[in-house]
A and B are shown apart, each in its own frame.
Chain A
Amino acid sequence: MTAARKSKSIRKVLIANRGAAAARIVRAVQGLGLKPVVVYSEADAQLPYVEQAAESYCIGPAPAKQSYLDQGALLDCMRRSGADALHPGYGFLSENAAFAQCVEEAGHCFIGPSPKWIELLGHKARARDFMGRMGLALGGSSAVLPANDMQAVHTAARQLGFPVLIKPAGGDGGIGMFPVHSSDELDGAWLRASALAEKAFSDPSLYLERFVQAPRHIEFQFLADRHGHVMSLFERDCSTQRRYQKVIEESPAPRLDRAVLQNMGEQLERMLANVGYDVIGTVEMLYTPESGFSFLEVNTRLQVEHAVTEAVTGTDIVQAQIRLAAGERLAEVMPVRPALNGHAIEARIYAEDPVRFFPSPGMLKVFQFPDNVPGIRVETGYAQGNAVTSHYDPMVSKLIAHGRTRDEAALRLRSALAATRIEGIKTNIPMIERVLGSARFGDAAMTVDGLQAALAEQAQTSINPTVEAKETV
């Protein structure tokens, strides 16, 4: 249990992010009657939320290292704007404990968990060790293994049993993860993963996990105050992925025993409350009917897919995050524990080739979404005429559908996708439509490795499965 920090009065929030995250947080900040301050790189000067914020500051050229990851520039903007809080969004510096510490030491409020939790749980190997000591099922895994001791790596892999999965200890977003099916493949994959981890996370350290065959990705959303109280906001099923990155997310998790999910949510809620975890977090798990849940990682930040939880709980998670970071008690922010209301499904629309999944930057010549359709919410940081550059991640928007049932939500999402017009770049919309139309998705049988199988099944059963016909460039 941490000592409750002094409640901070927030008036002005600097949003250290871009795109859909920045636009979403601007809206939440304004909804609380506070002033949003946005930062932008030279490449993002035309994005619509830059105009919508109370103040905006250019923080450097397009490469993220020279703008959104420039801690000095962000802290300078805090000082210049007089902002008293910083919302990191997701990605970029959202799980950088040293940056969070700098923000707090400068006397500002970091709208996220305390730096000690980011430090402990943002590192996958430390998080596994910690959660294991707390009694959570981890599945088989090794400790962090030395990069230059292949004998130790081979010994650990044999003990776990092939196939194994190599994972960067400081990783995120599926980068540097390699399944290895035999000892012959291990040396090459290990060296490749270590080099990628060093480049992506400035940390080459790796560990091994037992490779779980055909699991579902189930994650549990939590809100917490700085006074030792934690609340579970149910779970999300994020099993539809490509390259270990999520494409479709939904809540609640379909075709899974409600009591089993409830028990896991309550167990995690107790564990997090016992240690005094604060503000916001998500515990990610893999699930198979045979082995149950096994721990994957903790995300100490807002997540892209928070919107499906918002839809089924009627909670504004971003506003709650800001209030909790400011020191308000959970009982004030969430006076009533939400009940599950219906079903929500989110599709991430990426600027990418729908067949090869290659990036497709370019100009948004047409960028139109269905307007004011019941049960449909659109989140984006772009507008027609904007450029989608190669400098940042490929997500251009999210469509979130809410319905009384899963079938109704899926139908609404398919209708919204059909009414969406994006020209100038390739998008993954044709691929999402095929997944939503597959029997595997309809039967709630998606697993994290099942996307290609769903596409293949749908192609066999569809009268006209042509993907290329809907591409617009």
Chain B
Amino acid sequence: MKAICATVSGRVVQCVVNEGDAVKTGDEVVKIESMKMEIPVESEASGLIAKWLVKEGDEVQEGQALVELS
């Protein structure tokens, strides 16, 4: 199981895709707000969104797994 990880520390402002959705490499999966900027996190692989590990409003650290990809 692969994971999509936060590229920056901050707060999850939008989960762009839903569990069960198919994503390709480069697709935006989540938006993180940090230091007054909104940073999109893109998938680094193709697959299905198996499980969200965070929810909107959560504070996350750089490198933290956000979503499981099958």
Partner of B9, one of A173, A196, A361, A393: A361
How does the 8 Å CB contact mask read for B1-30 relative to A, with 1 for contact and 0 for none?
000000111110000000000000000000
Set of chain B residues within 8 Å of A392, measured between Cβ atoms:
35-36
Residue of B nearest to A393 (CB): B36
- Main secondary structure, interface of B, reads strand
Q: Does B34 contact A (CB under 8 A)?
A: yes
**Inside 8 A of B8's CB, which chain A residues have their CB?**
358-360, 390
Q: Chain B interface residue count: which class?
A: 10 to 19
Q: Is the CB of B11 within 8 A of A359?
A: no
- B39 interfacial contact with A, CB 8 Å: yes
Does A351 have its Cβ within 8 Å of any Cβ on chain B?
Answer: yes
Q: Which of A173, A196, A359, A393 contacts B10 (CB 8 A)?
A: A359
CA distance A392 to B33 in the complex (A): 10
User: Given the complex of chains A and B, what is the CA–CA distance between A394 and B37 in angstroms?
Assistant: 9
The interface size bin for chain A is 10 to 19
Q: Mark A390-415, 1 if CB is under 8 A from B, else 0.
A: 11111000000000000000000000
Rounded to whole Å, the gap between the CB of B65 and the closest CB of chain A is 18
Bound-complex Cα distance A148 to B59 (A):
34
Could you say which residues of chain B place their CB within 8 Å of the CB of A391?
35
Q: How close is B49's CB to chain A, nearest CB, in angstroms?
A: 23
Q: Point out the residues of chain B lying under 8 angstroms from A196, CB to CB.
A: 38
Closest CB in chain B relative to A41 CB, distance in Å:
14
Distance in Å from the Cβ of A10 to the closest Cβ of chain B? Answer: 31
Q: How distant is the Cα of A238 from the Cα of B38 in the complex, in angstroms? A: 24
Closest 5 CB pairs of A and B: A359-B35, A359-B34, A394-B35, A390-B34, A390-B10
A interface, CB within 8 angstroms of B: 173, 196, 351-352, 358-362, 390-394
Can you list 24 residue pairs at the A/B interface with Cβ under 8 Å?
A173-B36, A196-B38, A358-B34, A358-B37, A358-B39, A359-B8, A359-B9, A359-B10, A359-B34, A359-B35, A359-B39, A361-B9, A361-B34, A361-B35, A362-B9, A390-B8, A390-B9, A390-B33, A390-B34, A390-B35, A391-B35, A394-B35, A394-B36, A394-B37
